[in-house]
Amino acid sequence: MGSGERRSRRRPRGQQTPPPSLPGALGPPSPGEGLTFRTEPHALLPSPVSSRPSHPRPPSLQATRPRRWIECALLILGVCLGNAAELIPAKTVVLTFDGASKSHRTFVAPLLKELGFGATFFVTRRWMDATNHTMTWEEVAELHQMGFEIGNQSWSHEDFSTPRGASRLAGQTSLVDRQLLLTQAKVPRPTSFAYSANAFGPEAVERLNELGYRLGRRGKMPESRPNSPGIGPAFNPLQHHPLLIPATAEAAPFWNLEYLKRVLDLAIPGKAVVLQFHGVPEAQRPDLSTAPDQFRDYLQFLKQHGFRVIALRDLDRYIDRDRLPKDPTLSLRYPEGSADSLPLPFEIESSRAQAPFWLRNMIVHHRYRWEEAAQVLGWSVEKTKASAARLEIPAGTGSRVTTGLVQVLPYPGGRHPRTGFLDGAIDPQRGTKLSLFPPWENSGYMVLDLPEAIFSNLGLTYLAHTHIPTIWDHQHRVIPNVDWQVLEGGELRSEWKLPNGITFGAQAIPTRDGADFTLWLENGTPARLTALRTQICLMLKGAPGFEEQTAERKEFAAPLAVVKSAQANRYALLAFERCGRAWGNPPCPCIHSDPVLPEALPGQRVSVRGRLRFYEGDQLAEAKARILDGLP
């Protein structure tokens, strides 16, 4: 959030090559185009295989030896015809470990190092508060220093198989990325991802592709039942998409050496066996545990029989990025769900519920491209255009309401309100953001985040995007978006209720040359709230003449923050009472007037007032005096 942490939104992960292109509708987005959540039915998953009391040899392994050689020959022929980068050698095994178990550092990694084996350790913070059973971030960093791959399994280990879950992937993975970079070893951003609870869907795959991940590991489902002796497929780069690499087997207490041998039979030329482990042992999930003695036996068998044991990232060399396979799993969802019951992202749900309002807001006033409007509604461009035509909404007129007041509207989201420092504002919530349209011809709009952040003696209590973990991120609780209420006369009001009983909100009233604001907070907790610092951010990207990423033409003298247009004597002035800091962040670009709310006793409501004024002329000193008049 501070100006000292200015980074581009997403540096390339791993190699400096573009993210993998997905076939069909899952290709890379056009510039400015984001993830579209489709709600049409997806292909149904195969019915689960019925459970059996014994462990018979799976049908996929009942092939005769001649059939096995025919399969190998076909794989080699595919390579010769240019269908893959390299042929995976026989006896290739990928070891992956989920859940950040303490045993990964204390037992597993030293044993792997001793045997010269590679592995990928997928990290989630979900259970890190149980410090006796899970690694710390510094212990994760030690695995990196030992030469092992660190993969991302998301901050809260959420279900990403639904459109709503997939919409949270950027924030969930970025929180892990940030903690890794903060370790002493500065662990680089992972390029491999493991789906939480092995749940995946088309939207999640598309989002991972947009975020630059190169490899993704799912479970053995849908080809085999979970928590059963069934064996999944070995990874075949001519068949499986790199963001849906299947686990051939998932370690469980029923495993033994004979079972592992049957799994390893699939490690033929052109295919890699991918093994999924959790803790060794797994204290919090006994059903996913592997006994240390058994695990040692498994690794000794791999060593004695000449298996090549690698990390997931080492599969990249065998993938032809120019000719990715048309993997049918790309259209599947696990666990499967009805298209009518899949939860959509909160903002898409509310946008569809008031589609006429948001269409006019986006197309007329904010001049959104059709692709941007479609993203906000989760529709196709064609459906978005058809809906606008039925409502007789003209495209891109940029009209203003002629009431004599500055127009103030809820910001529709989708289009990021910043130009730079995007890593510091991932998945911004639109419900705290309002657009103010300067009263000049073709003046665009500025976006006020009211508030961007609220700090208290409890910690970071609210943040209008994902960057620094909030107290709710640490509790793995989601704060859903709440849109503005639009009242008669153009007034906007908001109200948010946090899980601990704190309620906060804002009011914006248009004036002839700007708007007046109130920010309030009500303490619904049983204890006094102190150190109630806030951040109020005015983002300038959408206003021609003000959008340059520079510290020039900006003045800060608390409580006043002023920015001047590069094209004329036009100014925007922002001031809040009880201001603790006035500042700006050129990469965004933005200016701040950040008030400190009074301490709040249980049940007490506290508030601060603020103003934004637009001014054109040579008498800036008088304009400053007017905005400050009456503000303590």
For residues 508 and 491, the answer to whether their CB atoms sit within 8 Å is yes
What Å distances lie between residue 179 and 3, 129, 174, CA to CA? 19, 15, 9
Band (119; pLDDT cuts 50, 70, 90): very high
Closest CA to 182 of 150, 226, 138, 223: 138
Total number of residues shown for the chain: 632
Pairing of strands 215-217, 249-250: unpaired
* Structural contact between residues 433 and 445, judged by C-beta atoms closer than 8 angstroms: no
Q: Dihedral of CA 187/191/195/201: which sign?
A: positive
Orientation of helix 370-377 relative to helix 381-390, angle to 10°:
90
Angle between helices 370-377 and 346-353 (to 10 degrees): 100
Q: CA 486, CA 491: separation in Å to the nearest integer?
A: 6
Helix intervals (H) in 354-439:
355-360, 370-377, 381-390
Across-strand partners of 150? 121
What type of residue sits at position 219?
G
Who contacts 632 (Cβ-Cβ below 8 Å, separation ≥6)?
577, 578
Domain 403-628 indexed as CATH 1.10.10: no
C-alpha span between 434 and 420 (Å, rounded): 19
- Tokens 């065998």 correspond to what residue? 318
Give pLDDT tens digits for 148-197: 999 999 999 999 999 999 999 999 999 999 999 999 999 999 999 999 99
Give burial (CB, 10 Å; 0-12/13-18/19+) of 427. buried
Biggest alpha carbon–alpha carbon distance for the chain: 91
- Give yes or no for residue 38 having a pLDDT over 90: no
Average pLDDT over residues 298-307: 98
Please report the pLDDT score of residue 71 as a whole number: 60
**49-72 residue pLDDT tens:** 333 333 333 333 344 445 555 565
pLDDT digits (tens, 9 = 90+) for 478-507: 999 999 999 999 999 999 999 999 999 999
Cβ-Cβ contacts under 8 Å for 227 (sequence gap 6 or more): 250, 252, 287
Residue 580 contacts residue 596 (beta carbons within 8 Å): yes
Structure-token pair, residue 196: 């939480």
Residue-wise DSSP of 483-512: PPEE-GGG-EEEEEE-TTS-EEEEEEEEET
Q: In whole angstroms, what is the distance from residue 119 CA to residue 233 CA?
A: 19
Confidence of residue 573 (pLDDT cuts 50, 70, 90): very high
DSSP-based helix, strand, coil % in the chain, nearest 5 = 25, 25, 50
One-letter amino acid of 134: T
Would the pLDDT of 47 be above 50? Answer: no
**The pLDDT of residue 519:** 99
Distance CA 122, CA 508 (A): 45
- Yes or no: say if 121 and 140 are a contact pair by the CB < 8 Å rule: yes
In the chain, how many H helices and how many E strands? Answer: 15, 23
Q: CA geometry: angle at 17 spanning 14 and 19, to 5°?
A: 85
Pair 246, 220: CB distance under 8 Å: yes
C-alpha 151 chain-centroid distance: 15
590-610 confidence digits (pLDDT tens): 999 999 999 999 999 999 999
Tell me the backbone φ, ψ of residue 310, rounded to 5 degrees: -130, 175
Q: Quick one: tokens of 171?
A: 């924030």
Phi, psi of 622 (to 5 degrees): -65, -40
- Overall average pLDDT of the 498-520 stretch: 98
Q: How many CB atoms lie within 10 A of CB 197?
A: 17
CA angle in degrees (0–180, nearest 5) for 17-19-21: 120
Cβ(434)–Cβ(408) below 8 Å? yes
Instruction: Please state which CATH number belongs to domain 88-331.
Output: 3.20.20.370
pLDDT of residue 349: 97
Measured over the CA atoms of residue 101, residue 106, residue 111 and residue 113, the dihedral's sign is positive
As a whole number of Å, the end-to-end CA separation of the chain is: 27
- pLDDT for 477 beyond 80: yes
